[in-house]
Amino acid sequence: MQSLTAIRTRVEDRVLFATLDHPPLNLIGPELARDLVSIVRHLESAPDEIRVVVFDSAVPRYFSAHLDVTRIKELNAELARLAPGTTTADLYSRISGLSQVSIAVIAGHVGGAGSEFALACDMRFASRERAVFTQMEVGVGLLAGAGAIQHLTRLMGRSRALEVLLSADDHTADLAERYGWVNRALPDADLWPFVDALARRIAKFPLEGITQTRRRVNRIALPEASAVNEDLRIFARLLKLPETRARIAALLAAGMQTDSALEAAFGAAVGQLESAHAGDAPSPAATP
């Protein structure tokens, strides 16, 4: 595997432990994209060596806050290493389609494209005390473009998915568990021992049984890649609207993408934004 800079890895008992370590927020930007592309390529070429991959975070308070809205061109350049024109939605679809079981361990804030990364994994387990979930896109005039609409509607049902997406608010781990956003919310002290034991247990089983079971479940439950990319095309169109640009500019000026009070309560922050029209907002970057 190519040398990684934003994700720390180790392999034990056919489990790849991949720890996001790109402070302060583990933003979905070029660094994480570069490492995720390398991990996906490695896993696609070595299915028998590794049977489970577990993603967690070394960054205090954050699993992955959201997309890095200031570096989308650089992000796209890293994604193109998978194939020309690859999008975040395509990368996440590749994670969902791996032969290996994928598990996200969430013990902090996760939102936007970071939440969509976790949703692309097969399973999600959350710290009851520390995990916070946000799909904030509607609050800035966007929609969730990399899978959340597709996944949350399947996981929660129509009404709860609309509540989560349209409120653009912060949600606790207990609510996320009740709604189906995560498999389980566990006390913080129990979270890692539970996931570690589950991952190692699954990794002991014959690969073909794991692969075929995932393939059959995914055929029922996963969205078509074309549906997710249609969401992303709408995201790109909305990103060009003046009010969307003005809202993003206001959030950046107030501390977005820093370890700030705004990022710690993103849902509250977007709820306080006033309606505005951009006259001098920065031009949006290319499609993520």
Tokens of 171: 């949600």
Q: What is the mean pLDDT of residues 178-196?
A: 97
pLDDT value, residue 46 = 78
Q: Across all residues in the chain, what is the average pLDDT?
A: 91
pLDDT value, residue 286 = 46
What CA–CA distance (Å, rounded) separates 169 from 221? 26
Q: Is the pLDDT of residue 44 over 70?
A: yes
What CA–CA distance (Å, rounded) separates 270 from 138? 9
Q: Is the pLDDT of residue 86 over 80?
A: yes
CA distances from 195 to 39, 53, 132, 141, 191 (A): 20, 11, 18, 36, 6
Q: By C-alpha distance, which of 115, 46, 22, 30 is closest to 81?
A: 30
pLDDT value, residue 226 = 87
What CA–CA distance (Å, rounded) separates 113 from 119? 9
Q: Residue 283: pLDDT band by 50, 70, 90 thresholds? A: very low
Q: By C-alpha distance, which of 108, 100, 110, 107 is closest to 39?
A: 100
Q: Is the pLDDT of residue 51 over 50?
A: yes
pLDDT value, residue 280 = 43
pLDDT value, residue 48 = 79
CB 31 within 8 A of CB 5: yes
Q: Residue 63: pLDDT band by 50, 70, 90 thresholds? A: very high
Burial of 137 (0-12, 13-18, 19+ CB in 10 A): buried
Condensed to tens digits (0 to 9), the pLDDT of residues 209-256 reads 998 999 999 999 999 888 998 999 999 999 999 999 999 999 999 899
CB 75 within 8 A of CB 36: no
Residues annotated catalytic, as ranges: 116, 137
CB 101 within 8 A of CB 210: yes
Q: Residue 273: pLDDT band by 50, 70, 90 thresholds? A: confident
Q: Residue 195: pLDDT band by 50, 70, 90 thresholds? A: very high
Phi, psi angle pair for 152, to nearest 5°:
-65, -35
Lowest mean pLDDT, pick from 145-149, 171-175, 278-282: 278-282
